[in-house]
Amino acid sequence: MSTTEPYAPLVAQLFAELPGAGRPAGPGWACGEAREPLSGTWVRVYLQAAAGRVAACRYEVRGCPHTVAALGLLATRLAGQAVAGLDVDPAALARELGAPAAKLGRIFVIQDALRSAALQLNVGCP
């Protein structure tokens, strides 16, 4: 990333492709939601599990390109992970995407939504 490019190529790619974006159809999804009012960031994470592992992850988001990209990355990586102790390292995610330190708060919104979704697994989305 050059010093004048605001986003890493990975962010641009994920923002363009939006892997896993959208509200899932059908039953069997748990969801968690979090927001950060100052920036207006809003995240909803949907998880589907089978045999104690994440089968699929979807999301809805209103947020900056780093937030959108972080969710795309998450959606591609969560499948297969154990539901027990499911979590994400916001700092590592931010580093991987080249997000400035001041954006870390927005990545924490994703973590909050993910944790909430993990708790809701098997309860179902309202």
Q: Specify the residue, 38 or 51, whose C-beta has the smaller distance to other proteins.
A: 38
Question: Is 19 in contact with 107 (CB distance < 8 Å)?
Answer: no
Among positions 10, 18, 56, 79, the unique one binding other proteins when judged by CB under 8 A? 18
Among positions 25, 38, 51, 84, the unique one binding other proteins when judged by CB under 8 A? 38
How many CB atoms lie under 10 A from the CB of residue 88? 21
> How many Cα atoms within 13 Å fall on the side-chain side of residue 7?
15
110 near other proteins, rule: CB under 8 A:
no
Measured distance CA(28)–CA(122) in Å, rounded: 7
Among positions 27, 52, 80, 100, the unique one binding other proteins when judged by CB under 8 A? 100
| E strand spans, 1-126 | 30-36, 41-50, 53-62
Among positions 14, 45, 49, 61, the unique one binding other proteins when judged by CB under 8 A? 61
Binding site for other proteins (CB under 8 A): 6-7, 15, 18, 21-23, 37-42, 60-65, 67-68, 99-103
